[in-house]
Amino acid sequence: MIQKRNTSSAPADKQSTTTIYGLRPVQEAIDGGIRIDRILLQNGLTGLLASDLKARIREKGIPFQFVPVEKLNRLAKGNHQGVVALISPIEFSKALDLIPALMEGDKAPLVLLLDHITDVRNFGAIVRTVECAGADAVIIPDHGSAQIGNDAVKTSSGALLRVPVCREGNLKTVVNLAHQCGMQVVAATEKGASDYLEVDFTKPTLLIMGAEETGISPELLKMADIRAKLPVMGQVQSLNVSVAAAVFMYEALRQRR
């Protein structure tokens, strides 16, 4: 079954949230090349059709997670048979294609890599700033990132429909690609040795932002060329990640202007 819900005044074909549920309908959606953000599977789901579906999901590399049946019941009003697919309102790009193409352009690219930022409001706000500050793209992991649905598009004020987004299985591979293409990799972290004003953002840059609770993963921190921090004068030791990302991006814009 397919279920649509439009919660915005934007055009329905751009802004509607669509769920597809049921074992065979979800299988057909995968085979038909429908853009799927992620698939939710009921905990303990078994059976031949379910096994075939799980194999197909893994084969296609579609993000999925196991959830309680109560969550599926809230998303689907019919017989979901233990599976609900959430359809993406955007088409994802590939970093392997995007980064080299940006490096061949007329300006030094600025790309954000978001390391497991799961809050939809923070994600949407960051993408909105990416568009406003003239940055070029956003890269996210295919597991452990904010759901890209109607709420994310709304929070971004529609910027998600204009900013290229790459969803990648291995963020370390992305960082390696950036290095190979000649980009500097800057990690935004309170553990940084450099002040953000000391970073030369006129160079091609991959900027890594981490989740507020955990920060940037240690393996990505080790791969960064520069670890930069924002000065904090008050008792609260860190900024909201979307605010921090905005400060970095607008410093890059200031330097490039």
Asked whether this chain's domains 2-87 and 95-256 adopt the same fold, the reply is no
pLDDT at 13: 34
pLDDT at 151: 87
Domain boundaries, the chain: 2-87, 95-256
Alpha carbon 206 to its chain centroid, in Å, reads 15
pLDDT at 12: 32
pLDDT at 69: 93
Query: Can you name the CATH fold of 95-256?
Result: Alpha/beta knot (3.40.1280)
pLDDT in tens, 24-78: 999 999 998 888 888 999 999 999 999 999 999 999 888 899 999 999 999 888 8
Q: CB of 21 within 8 A of CB of 80? A: yes
Structure tokens belonging to residue 49: 């059709």
pLDDT at 99: 97
One DSSP character per residue, 211-225 reads: BTTTBS-HHHHHH-S
In terms of CATH architecture, what is 2-87? 2-Layer Sandwich (3.30)
Return the SS3 of 77: coil
Predicted model pTM: 0.83
Kindly give the confidence (pLDDT) of every residue in the chain, 257 residues in length, as a single tens digit, with 9 standing for 90 and above: 555 433 333 333 333 447 899 999 999 999 988 888 889 999 999 999 999 999 999 998 888 999 999 999 998 888 999 999 998 888 899 999 999 999 999 999 999 999 999 999 999 999 999 999 999 999 999 888 898 888 899 999 999 999 999 999 899 999 999 999 999 999 999 888 899 999 999 999 999 999 878 889 999 999 999 999 999 888 777 789 999 999 999 999 999 99
- CA distances from residue 121 to 128, 145, 150, 243 in whole angstroms, order as listed: 10, 12, 11, 12
pLDDT at 3: 53
CA torsion 143→146→151→154, rounded to 10°? -120
